[in-house]
Amino acid sequence: MNTVVGKSVAVIILTIAMFLLSTSGRAQELAPFTSDGCSAFPDGTLEQKTLWLDCCTAHDKAYWQGGSYLQRLQADQALQSCVAQTGQTEIAQLMLAGVRVGGTPYLPTSFRWGYGWNFPRGYKALSATELKLVAQQKEATK
């Protein structure tokens, strides 16, 4: 019985290692920028339907390109500040809480941190080559 369990564990470890090696060795591709506005949250108030939409679009650009944990924290704080500047401080706090929980790079969502890159990326500073790809994509969408 121990032999079967040992072989099963070895197969699982080998499978995980092969997955990690295959994802780390492949060329990174950057998908074109997309934005869903404020994701599963309103883009504004009932009276001003797109009041903070520009804040969400700027936040999406940061999330699309991804990067380090600190960069994500700064992007989330910038979203909060931008929304607060519309006079909606409570909404800004609520949005900050939502993106801190929902924007994790460890779930394969369309709004995760680094969603422009292949999943899983996690928190990782952009290389010079990746920064060049981001700049090219931004220039192409102007």
Rounded distance between C-alpha atoms, residue 86 and residue 88, angstroms: 6
- What's the pLDDT score for residue 26? 45
Nearest to 28 by CA among 139, 132, 113, 117: 117
pLDDT per residue as tens digits for the range 32-65: 999 999 998 999 999 999 999 999 999 999 999 9
Find the mean pLDDT for residues 24-38. 79
- Neighbouring residues of 69: CB distance < 8 A, sequence distance ≥ 6: 123
Residue type, 87: G
Band (4; pLDDT cuts 50, 70, 90): low
Band (138; pLDDT cuts 50, 70, 90): confident
* For residue 2, pLDDT beyond 80: no
Residue type, 12: I
Mean pLDDT of the chain: 86
* For residue 3, pLDDT beyond 90: no
What does the domain layout of the chain look like in residue ranges? 2-140
Looking at 26-68, list the stretches that DSSP marks H as alpha helix, in order from N- to C-terminal side: 53-65
The length of the chain is 142
Band (141; pLDDT cuts 50, 70, 90): confident
Rounded distance between C-alpha atoms, residue 92 and residue 67, angstroms: 23
Find the mean pLDDT for residues 77-106. 97
